[in-house]
Structure 1
Amino acid sequence: MISCDPSHFSLAHLSQVTIKRETRRPQEINLPSHINLSKGPPHHQFTQPSQLPTITKPVTIQPITEGTKNGFFKEEEFPNGPPLRFATTYFLRLAELKPSIEAAAMEAWDGTEIGGDTVQRANRVLDVRQGEICWIVGTIYMDMPLKPNILDDITKHNWIAAPPPRDKYMTPGEDQVMLEDESGRVKLVGKMLEKEYLVTGAVIGVMGTENKDGDFDVVDVIVPHLPPQENLLAIGKGKGRREGGKRKVALVSGLGFRGNAMEDFETELLAEYLLGEIGGVEDQESASKITHLIIAGNSLAPSIALPPVKGEEKHKKYGYDSTTYNANPALALDNLLTSLLPSIPITILPGPTDPANVSLPQQPLHPAIFRNAKSYIASCLHTTTNPALLDIDGVKFLGTAGQNLDDVYKYVDGEDRLGMCERLLKWRCVAPTAPDTLWSFPFEDKDLYIIRECPHVFFLGNQEKFESRLVEGPENQVCRIILIPKFSETSEMVLVDVDTLECESVKFGVENGGS
């Protein structure tokens, strides 16, 4: 059923592969037998809202322009007054992405005939009529019973046991897919949806017709595809970019420092490898080409209490035990950075277990965390945001600490995380589920999660294992997707050649009692 209540759009309560473009010409499409194109009155009734809710001024976020042009968003001021409406983020996303999807839909579906009727464009969800084949653009909203909601937060606040965290939000047979725009909402149905990755916040175009139940029966789906990109050869003209193998960027995530001696061995091997102090001639030659190190979040492990000291009396403050601060994890991270600087420039992103704000975009780690390494912040140590957009010698790196992918994973059936990352690029949105199930600042003027320029490297940290895929777009875009494993669990680092976009993993450890 289609509804027009504006509050429904408040979603906050809420290895190598080549992708080739398929240009579809006007064609005959066999409609599923259960779809009836007989003309009839619209199944829905509605009243047009006279005025949309007033939105207050949001947090102002500015890109970071210093150093390696690293950063995606930087917080400059905090909002005052009434709380912001998170639905604004989705309105802005739809408004910006809608033209590109409409252009793709016109090219793919213009002149297409189904059952003798030519496919028409519906400007709004409320313009859909029963029995008329049409296409419409809108924002996906997943209505899932197992998805987190405000009631869970209330139960936690009232000291009632909340439901345990879930690996997936899916409930077969109960989940519903909605398509929304500024006018209303319609439920999507059809076998075609089973072939698509769909999450809240993704902006797509769908073709189909309204059935007798008032639902929109989908027969085809279209997405924006990869955004424009500056060609690598154009960037590296005259710099030998065709040859490759001359410059590499190292990526690591999930160092997970706890400050104990057990973790020192692997991280010491990591530091010595980056400095060219271990390994054979081939390893040292490879290390000599590393021009930059990116640490993609979760450098510190989740906070743990220090073991009690026998005979030591705990001090009380306002009737409660005083907080005990464990500086060992931060000191271990600082020691690693200090040993590498200034030999290798380092960019470090915050992650969900690091001392930074929880909501995306996470702000850069505070310099006070780095007792000794902070002296290099003005030169070769760059603390940046999460997500981060980096420009390293003309090569665009877009990356996160992995929260966005982990949240998308909970919406869809399957384990293909590389395919999910590919969808993020095609949706042109790095965090589509924010702020519905992924905490985020609300934005009023601009959705900063939109990918406006296709990166050359798209990395996501703190994943279970190393995976990589090369994606190519219809306009010669090329992007290397990299899933960076947790170093604390796998002892793996990733090297990517910025000239050829080839990548490999390097694993540290001892085998059979040898080195």
Structure 2
Amino acid sequence: MVKLEDVSSLLQAPAPEQKVPVRTDSTYKPLHSFALDKQRSYKQQYGDMYFLRLAKIKPAVEEVASKAWDGTEIGGELAKRVDRVLDVRQGELCWVAGTVYMDMRLKPNILEDVSKDRWLSAPISSQKYYSDDGSDQIMLEDDSGRVRLVGELLNSIPLVTGCIIAVMGTENTNGEFEVIDLKVPDLAPQPERWALSKAPSAKSKSEDTDMTDSPSPNGGKKVAIVSGLSFSGTDASAYNPLPSQLFDEFVAELLPSIPVTLLPGARDPANASYPQQPIHTAMFPLSRAYASDPGAASTSQPGWFDTVTNPWEAEIEGWRILGTGGQNVDDVFKYVESDDRLGMMEAMCRWRCCAPTAPDTLWSYPFQEDDPFVLKSCPHVYFVGCQPEFATKVIHGPDGQSVRLIAVPSFSKTKEFVLVDTETLEVTKIKITSR
């Protein structure tokens, strides 16, 4: 800090020997993994998304299953691999890979809703699709057909529509596949740090440490993650511009000092379907001056005010970061009995899909050529916003992968946000209280 000799020195420039604190820019590279074309159509069939997902993830889960089950012998019978679900034969020990489909009584079904008489009373809303009365059924399907999965093992493993798994067992006399073991693709290959951007030199690192007032001598720069700001208001039936105006003024005050990345959420002025596209900068007349040129190429340097997609992927200080507004976890939450949000986030990473329930119960764009929700690479940090409470943990993969999971609480409800150290990936929860 600059030492002041007297009060009058406040209006004087610092002496040459006085070191002035400066804030160095962070290395930030958005990946635009979930950006949609400007000209897009919703006339396609959604079924193609499941076939795309299966085609991309099936080789990975088959590799895991093959390593685990090749040569497995039970009761004198050798487990064999079958290519398609309909190739399963009754009484034969085998394993097969496919897409999970959950047939649940409480899950909304648009076809049934349309076929019902319009004068019927509206169904009772439920926070969970899961039912403990045994009526839920787990199916495994591919392009050949589907088979029902049964077995005690399934009660201890969270499964949702859209995840890709491999199961080993036998078909019983009822035509059901009795599962004795189950495998998931596990974590995708993880890129090294600084895989896409250039690491700062040792000199610049030294200058950064000397010239900034970091609270920890060994810590790096901090990234603040705040979710659930509700700047668009809480009442969707009445337009109130005041929250967005106040938010714009607040962000505009921050931008001269620090860059801001803005992800849309479920209640924000953006498209409702996944992946949500960036909120238009016209919503922020004061902050938009810090945004990049709307006509600039995606490869150009982003502005300090960067409105991005939800989900969003970027590289910050060399770390691969994946973040969402929380709709994907909120939807998975409805499928399972557990309330463990971090467990659901871990399952998505090990399924290699950040939105497995899209497009079944999570609205999404009907992709035809690629499924961007498939995790082609494993992130170093995976955060999910608008969660009931803060939670974090680190998970590890079979090939040395390490992922920091962060459930970011809704700020409007908890007055909490999190700080992530960009050198150690340590996470700190900050709570703002009023006196």
> With structure 2 as the length reference, what TM-score do the two structures score?
0.83
Moved more, 450-459 or 69-78: 69-78
> Which residue is equivalent to 1:181?
142
CA distance in 2, matches of 1:155, 1:298: 39
CA distance in 1, matches of 2:187, 2:167: 18
1:210 aligns with 2:171: yes
* 1:76 counterpart SS class: coil
> Which residue is equivalent to 1:170?
130
Counterpart code for 1:140: V
| 1:392-431 equivalences in 2 (<5 Å) | 392-431=316-355
The alignment of Structure 1 onto Structure 2 pairs a total of residues equal to: 391
Cα-to-partner distance string for 1:456-511 (whole Å, 9 max, x where unaligned): 1000000011000101111111110000001111111101112211111011113x
CA distance in 2, matches of 1:424, 1:298: 25
Q: Is the 8 A contact 2:53 2:374 kept in 1?
A: yes
1:363 to 257, 260, 277: 277
1:348 aligns with 2:309: no
Q: Is the 8 A contact 1:112 1:119 kept in 2?
A: yes
> Shift of residue 151 of structure 1?
5.0
2:420 to 493, 496, 514: 496
Q: Is the 8 A contact 2:228 2:411 kept in 1?
A: no
> Which residue is equivalent to 2:15?
none
Moved more, 294-303 or 380-389: 294-303
Counterpart code for 1:366: H
> With structure 1 as the length reference, what TM-score do the two structures score?
0.71
> Which residue is equivalent to 2:240?
326
CA distance in 2, matches of 1:297, 1:367: 19
Q: Is the 8 A contact 1:296 1:400 kept in 2?
A: no
2:92 to 132, 147, 156: 132
Q: Is the 8 A contact 2:220 2:421 kept in 1?
A: no
> Shift of residue 74 of structure 1?
1.5
1:106 to 55, 63, 66: 66
Unaligned runs of 5+ in 1: 1-65, 248-275, 306-322
CA distance in 1, matches of 2:77, 2:287: 68
CA distance in 2, matches of 1:152, 1:111: 45
Q: Is the 8 A contact 2:97 2:165 kept in 1?
A: yes
CA distance in 1, matches of 2:263, 2:77: 53
1:118 aligns with 2:78: yes
Cα-to-partner distance string for 1:44-79 (whole Å, 9 max, x where unaligned): xxxxxxxxxxxxxxxxxxxxxx97324331122344
Cα-to-partner distance string for 1:229-279 (whole Å, 9 max, x where unaligned): 123388897867xx99x89xxxxxxxxxxxxxxxxxxxxxxxxxxxx9xxx
CA distance in 2, matches of 1:304, 1:398: 30
Change (3 A) 1:237 1:77: closer
CA distance in 2, matches of 1:146, 1:193: 19
Unaligned runs of 5+ in 2: 1-26, 293-302
CA distance in 2, matches of 1:398, 1:163: 36
| 1:448-467 equivalences in 2 (<5 Å) | 448-467=372-391
Q: Is the 8 A contact 1:190 1:218 kept in 2?
A: yes
CA distance in 2, matches of 1:188, 1:137: 12
CA distance in 2, matches of 1:352, 1:83: 24
1:88 to 48, 51, 55: 48
Q: Is the 8 A contact 2:97 2:167 kept in 1?
A: yes
> Which residue is equivalent to 1:223?
184
Q: Is the 8 A contact 1:295 1:349 kept in 2?
A: no
Q: Is the 8 A contact 1:228 1:454 kept in 2?
A: yes
> Which residue is equivalent to 1:194?
155
CA distance in 2, matches of 1:70, 1:79: 20
Cα-to-partner distance string for 1:336-363 (whole Å, 9 max, x where unaligned): 1111002111111000010011000001
Counterpart code for 1:502: E
Determine what percentage of the aligned residue pairs are the same residue.
47
* 1:232 counterpart SS class: coil
Q: Is the 8 A contact 1:168 1:411 kept in 2?
A: yes
> Shift of residue 299 of structure 1?
3.9
